[in-house]
């Protein structure tokens, strides 16, 4: 029997950990709180060091905490990140998304800065400023940067936040042998712009009940009894992170792919490993290609979704071509299941947009922590609730209590 409006919006008869209020995916005020309480204090994966191979190479990065950054490899080969803002008049310092320059030079007045953030030139400096301004006083604002876990470059706006290692803890230990076996190389990089909420993307990455969405996931694992698909278990880590147990993927079911033959150092043949990191990163290793999903929340219903596909620096041209082909025909935006994930997440965003009559979101499947258990979603939102200081199932409880008291 269909339901009326009151029945549609009725709280489920479930523990509060097993459903979410739809407003957490659409409320602009909650999104501003997320910026202040989560985005500005978390470590974000910005680039891979292979994207900055030479001194003077730079990449720009739009930080979710409303900051524009430029990431530079200095003459000393160290990678640093700075606010992408000229300290003279506040102009954007670097406009190009990537490039190489001996110095970063502001187009406005030609102030120049080296790869360490030092101000190295001010046109007509003595004539205009005499001794009243020292170059050290107008250096760039450096942002905390760490290069770790396989050469990825992480940034954090908070100078006093816990270290990257403290935030990730042991969540990536499961994949460290593969990440650090050999230096890696970014093969392809993509962006997609989705009209959805970032947590809806992570919800999808955190559960595999949605494999019914993916034709190729069904034929390479879920429908084959000898793959160990249903025996995989979630492991939850402090901080909202989680990993999923490996399985034997039937890569021969992928036509026009050499994935099963290429392999990856330390990964079992036909293996697969996946780790989700709070708040917006997924490490996904599928035999021949490592795919990194990282997403940049722009608004409650707007996300820049970044994809990196990586191989090994030691690859021969032939092997690299095969890895690139695997990336294209399987895991890239033109592949066989990513577009399905994007369609589902976007559909959720459109249906639950601010002002819609959205229902409570269920995350109530319990299957002994195995692959179709929705524990990954519950674990993620428990960490979200802790950091934001609100319950994901009842985010406005404190406001109601305050209103009653008044």
pLDDT at 286: 83
Q: Give the count of beta carbons closer than 10 Å to the beta carbon of residue 248.
A: 17
Its pTM stands at 0.93
Q: Give the count of beta carbons closer than 10 Å to the beta carbon of residue 135.
A: 15
Q: Does the structure show a pLDDT above 80 at 353?
A: yes
| CATH 2.102.10.10 in the chain, residue ranges | 44-151
pLDDT at 250: 65
CATH class for domain 44-151?
A: mainly beta
Q: What is the pLDDT of residues 27-56, one digit of tens each?
A: 999 999 999 999 999 999 999 999 999 999
Q: Which two three-digit tokens encode residue 83?
A: 């606010």
Q: Does the structure show a pLDDT above 80 at 370?
A: yes
Mean pLDDT of 391-396: 96
Query: What percent of the chain has a predicted confidence (pLDDT) above 90?
Result: 70
pLDDT at 329: 75
pLDDT at 282: 95
Q: What confidence tier does 216 reach under pLDDT thresholds 50, 70, 90?
A: low
CATH class for domain 182-388?
A: alpha beta
The residue among 233, 221, 227 whose CA lies nearest residue 174 is: 233
- Paired residues of 227 in beta bridges: none
Of 66-80, 151-165, 202-216, 228-242, where does mean pLDDT reach its minimum?
202-216
pLDDT at 223: 67
Query: What percent of the chain has a predicted confidence (pLDDT) above 70?
Result: 90
pLDDT at 187: 93
| CATH 3.90.380.10 in the chain, residue ranges | 182-388
DSSP H or E stretch at residue 309: strand 302-312
79-83/119-121 β-pairing: unpaired
Long-range pairs of 329-335 with CB within 8 A, sequence gap ≥ 24? 329/254, 329/256, 329/257, 330/216, 330/254, 330/257, 330/259, 330/286, 330/289, 331/284, 331/286, 331/289, 331/291, 332/188, 332/190, 332/307, 333/190, 333/192, 333/307
Of 248-257, 280-289, 379-388, where does mean pLDDT reach its minimum?
248-257
pLDDT at 254: 60
pLDDT at 258: 47
Most confident range, picked from 3-12, 166-175, 209-218, 328-337 = 166-175
């Amino acid at each position: 029997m269909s339901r009326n409006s009151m029945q549609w919006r009725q709280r489920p008869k479930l523990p509060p950990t097993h459903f979410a209020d739809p407003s957490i995916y659409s409320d602009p005020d909650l999104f501003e709180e997320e910026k202040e309480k989560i985005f500005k204090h978390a470590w974000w994966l910005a680039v891979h060091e292979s994207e900055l191979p030479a001194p003077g190479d730079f990449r720009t990065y739009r930080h979710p905490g409303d900051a524009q950054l430029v990431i530079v490899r200095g003459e000393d080969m160290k990678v640093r990140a700075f606010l992408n803002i000229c300290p003279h008049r506040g102009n954007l310092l670097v406009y190009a998304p990537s490039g190489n320059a001996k110095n970063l030079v502001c187009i406005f007045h030609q102030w120049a800065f080296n790869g360490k953030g030092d101000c190295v030139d001010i046109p007509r400096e003595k004539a205009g400023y005499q001794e009243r301004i020292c170059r050290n006083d107008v250096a760039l604002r450096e942002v905390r940067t760490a290069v770790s876990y396989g050469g990825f470059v992480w940034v954090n706006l908070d100078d006093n936040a816990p270290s990257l290692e403290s935030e990730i803890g042991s969540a990536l230990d499961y994949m460290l042998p593969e990440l650090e076996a050999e230096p890696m190389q970014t093969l392809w990089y993509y962006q997609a712009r989705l009209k959805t909420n970032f947590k809806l993307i992570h919800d999808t990455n955190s559960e595999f009940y949605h494999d019914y969405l993916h034709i190729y996931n069904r034929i390479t694992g879920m429908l084959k009894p000898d793959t160990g698909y249903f025996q995989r278990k979630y492991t939850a880590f402090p901080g909202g992170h989680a990993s999923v147990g490996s399985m034997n993927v039937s890569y021969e079911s992928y036509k026009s792919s050499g994935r099963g033959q290429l392999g990856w150092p330390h990964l079992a043949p036909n293996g697969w490993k996946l780790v989700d990191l709070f708040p917006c990163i997924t490490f996904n290793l599928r035999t021949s290609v490592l795919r990194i999903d990282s997403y940049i929340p722009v608004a409650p219903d707007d996300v820049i979704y970044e994809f990196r596909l990586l191989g090994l620096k030691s690859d021969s041209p032939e092997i690299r071509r095969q890895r690139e082909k695997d990336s294209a025909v399987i895991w890239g935006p033109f592949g066989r299941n990513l577009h399905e994930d994007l369609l589902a997440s976007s559909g959720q965003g459109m249906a639950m947009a601010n002002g819609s009559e959205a229902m409570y979101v269920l995350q109530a499947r319990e299957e002994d922590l195995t692959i179709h258990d929705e524990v990954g979603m519950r674990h993620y939102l428990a960490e979200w609730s802790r950091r934001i200081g609100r319950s994901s199932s009842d985010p406005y409880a404190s406001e109601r209590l305050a209103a009653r008291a008044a």
